[in-house]
Each structure stands twice: as C-alpha cells, then as structure tokens.
C-alpha cells in the first residue's frame, strides 16, 4: 500500500462519522477531494485542516440530519393501530383479568399517537401550548363527571365489567386528577406570564 | 455562492476559488464544502449539472451551478457587501477604494 492510499484509507474510515444519508450522497466526493489535496499539498498540512474540518462538519451534519428527520407519521400510525387493537381486545375479553391491562395499553398507545402527531405538526406562533391550559384544566373535571355518569348507569348484564370496573374507575379518576392539576399549573404560569408581559408593555422606557 | 458567480464548477475547483477569493483566509475542508453544497442544493440556490454537460476528463466529478434564484441571492449579497464597505470606508482610512 502506497503512502497516498494509506492516507485515503484512514480518511475513508473517518468519513463514517458522518450521518449515513450524507455519506451516501458525498462519500466518494469527500474522498476524491481529500485525495486531490494530498496530491497537491503536504500531507501534514492537509491532515491538520481535515481534522479541524471533521470536528466542525461532523456535528453540523449530524444536527442537520436530526433536524430534517422525517416526520413521525410511522410512530403515529403504529401507536394508533396498537391502541385500537388493545381497546378492541379489552372489550372483546369482557370481564377477563387482562382487560385493565389492555385498556392501559390502549390509553398509552393513544396518548403516544396524539403526541407524535402533534410533534409532527409545524409550530405556529398563535398556537402556543401555554394558551391551551384551560382545555387541560376542563378535561380533568369532564373526565371525572363522565366516570360518575358511567358508574351511575345501570349497565345491562352482558356489559357488566365486574371487578375490572374498580380498576377502570381508579385509572379514570387518577387521569382526571392529573389533567386538572396540570391545567391548574399551566394556568397559573400563563396568568403570571401574561401579567409580566403587560407590565413590560406599559412600563415607561 | 460567490465562487459560483463565474459559472459552473466542481468541488475541488470551488474549494480553490474560495481560497483565492478570500486571499487564503478561508480554506474549506471536504466536509464543510460538501455540507454547504448540500444545503444550497436543498434550498434550490444551486443545481448539479454533472449529467447534463459532456465532460472531456475521465474523472467522475460533480459540477454545480447557480440557479436563477441563487444568482439573484449571490448578486444581492455582493451588493450588500459593496454597500457595507462603501459606507464604512470613509470612517476607516485604507479600507476599500472609497478611502482617502
């Protein structure tokens, strides 16, 4: 192996630090350009410049690839299908002991689906999460009220959940409490922030 | 982009052109050069012309050329830099042609 080829082999290995998409497009060009530099200049000088270049360009390319990653449609679809399947199984099993587990899986799957769908949407200035605190606050009592109604309804024989109903009620109340508490905290933060912004806007300059 | 104002060019020649235009101050490495070209391609400011132009050399090289939008952006940037130098030259003696 000639000295030139040894330099190229080392650099080729180092290009593996770049993200695969970048390497797929430019690997041959990177090595060809490095080879041309090695032919024209002192190898030590080329290596000094190339190492500096790697230190800067590898994190840059990794960050760019991360920022331009495809949207989370696959995760949304998978978790949505998983949630639907778990919910279907829960209601098919009726009063079986696995029913609460399937319901929890369905709830978590649904939450992941909603979260990943929202994460894939472009961020809009007029749709800041802090402005939706009242929806979260109202969702808690609404879920609690729904649970009370469900408890009060005399369910037909075939739809009676038996002992599993206890766990369902516990999960529903815990969720409603969490939602109400989260909404309250977000509301307080939004009110304090709003007051501070107004004070800054009206303060003499 | 300013290095592409003269016309289409390949990676190595672009690297040399940048070095020449900056009087040796900017020496791009392969990763920085192709990272920048990749970003400009993504923004539609340059296009790859490798497959459209017949080559005399046997080397497999990718050539790049400014798009109409890219040329406008490069010209605007050139104008902006000229204006900036023109404004500050009277304040800094010896800077640019407008100096005393």
Determine the Cα–Cα distance for residues B97 and B99; give it in Å rounded to an integer.
5
CB contact under 8 A, B12 and A26: no
Determine the Cα–Cα distance for residues A44 and A42; give it in Å rounded to an integer.
6
Percent of all residues in chain A with a pLDDT value above 90, rounded to a whole number = 21
The whole-number pLDDT of residue B94 equals 65
Give the A:B interface size as CB pairs under 8 Å.
55
What is the average pLDDT value for chain B, to the nearest integer? 82
Environment class of B4 (CB within 10 Å of its CB; exposed 0-12, middle 13-18, buried 19+): buried
> Given CB atoms, is B28 within the 8 Å cutoff of chain A?
yes
Question: Confidence band (pLDDT; 50, 70, 90) for A35?
Answer: very high
Per-residue pLDDT, averaged over A69-77, amounts to 72
- The DSSP letter of residue B4 is G
Residues of chain B neighbouring A22 (CB-CB closer than 8 A): 34-35, 38
Q: Per-residue pLDDT for B91 more than 50? A: yes
Question: Confidence band (pLDDT; 50, 70, 90) for A94?
Answer: low
CA distance A120 to chain B (A): 20
Per-residue pLDDT, averaged over A43-53, amounts to 92
Across the interface, which of B27, B31, B60 has its CB nearest the CB of A18? B31
Question: Confidence band (pLDDT; 50, 70, 90) for B55?
Answer: low
Q: Where is pLDDT greater, at A128 or B84?
A: B84
The whole-number pLDDT of residue B26 equals 85
Q: Per-residue pLDDT for A100 more than 90? A: no
Across the interface, which of A34, A60, A64 has its CB nearest the CB of B30? A34
The whole-number pLDDT of residue A10 equals 93
The whole-number pLDDT of residue A9 equals 92
Q: Per-residue pLDDT for A185 more than 90? A: no
> Given CB atoms, is B34 within the 8 Å cutoff of chain A?
yes
B46-48 and B63-66 beta bridge pairing: antiparallel
Question: Confidence band (pLDDT; 50, 70, 90) for A89?
Answer: confident
Residues of chain A neighbouring B62 (CB-CB closer than 8 A): 29
CB contact under 8 A, A29 and B34: yes
Percent of all residues in chain A with a pLDDT value above 70, rounded to a whole number = 80
CA distance A78 to chain B (A): 30
Q: Per-residue pLDDT for B57 more than 60? A: no
Nearest CA in chain A to B16: A37
Question: Confidence band (pLDDT; 50, 70, 90) for A174?
Answer: confident
How does pLDDT run across B10-26, given as a tens digit for each residue? 888 899 998 888 888 88
Q: List, as ranges, residues 71-130 from A with C-beta within 8 Å of B.
A: none
Burial A1-26 (b: 16+ CB within 10 A, else e): eeeeeebbeebeebbeebeeebeebb
Percent of all residues in chain B with a pLDDT value above 70, rounded to a whole number = 82
> Given CB atoms, is A36 within the 8 Å cutoff of chain B?
yes
Question: Confidence band (pLDDT; 50, 70, 90) for A162?
Answer: low
Prediction pTM value: 0.53
């Amino acid at each position: 192996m000639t000295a030139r080829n040894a330099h190229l082999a080392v650099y080729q290995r180092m290009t593996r630090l770049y993200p695969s998409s970048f390497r797929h497009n430019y690997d041959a060009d990177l090595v060809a350009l490095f080879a041309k530099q090695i032919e024209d200049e002192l190898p030590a000088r080329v290596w000094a410049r190339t190492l500096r270049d790697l230190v800067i360009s590898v994190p840059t390319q990794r960050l760019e690839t991360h920022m331009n990653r495809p949207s989370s449609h696959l995760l949304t679809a998978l978790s949505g299908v998983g949630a639907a399947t778990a919910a279907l199984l829960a209601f098919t099993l009726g009063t079986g002991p696995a029913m609460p587990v399937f319901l929890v899986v369905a709830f978590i799957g649904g939450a992941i689906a909603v979260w990943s769908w929202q994460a894939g949407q472009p961020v809009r200035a007029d749709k800041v999460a802090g402005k939706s605190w009242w929806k979260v606050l109202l969702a808690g009592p609404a879920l609690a009220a729904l649970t009370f109604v469900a408890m009060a309804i005399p369910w037909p024989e075939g739809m009676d959940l038996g002992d599993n109903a206890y766990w369902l009620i516990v999960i529903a109340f815990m969720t409603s409490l969490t939602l109400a508490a989260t909404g309250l905290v977000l509301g307080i933060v939004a009110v304090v922030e709003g007051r501070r912004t107004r004070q800054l806007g009206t303060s003499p300059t | 982009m300013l290095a592409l104002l003269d016309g289409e060019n390949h990676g190595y020649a672009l690297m040399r052109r940048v070095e020449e235009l900056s009087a040796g101050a900017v020496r791009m490495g392969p990763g920085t050069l192709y990272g920048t070209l990749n970003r400009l391609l993504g923004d539609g400011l340059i296009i790859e012309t490798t497959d459209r132009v017949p080559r005399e050399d046997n080397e497999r090289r990718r050539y790049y050329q400014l798009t109409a939008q890219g040329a406008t952006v490069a010209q605007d940037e050139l104008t902006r830099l000229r204006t900036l130098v023109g404004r500050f030259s009277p304040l800094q003696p010896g800077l640019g042609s407008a100096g005393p």
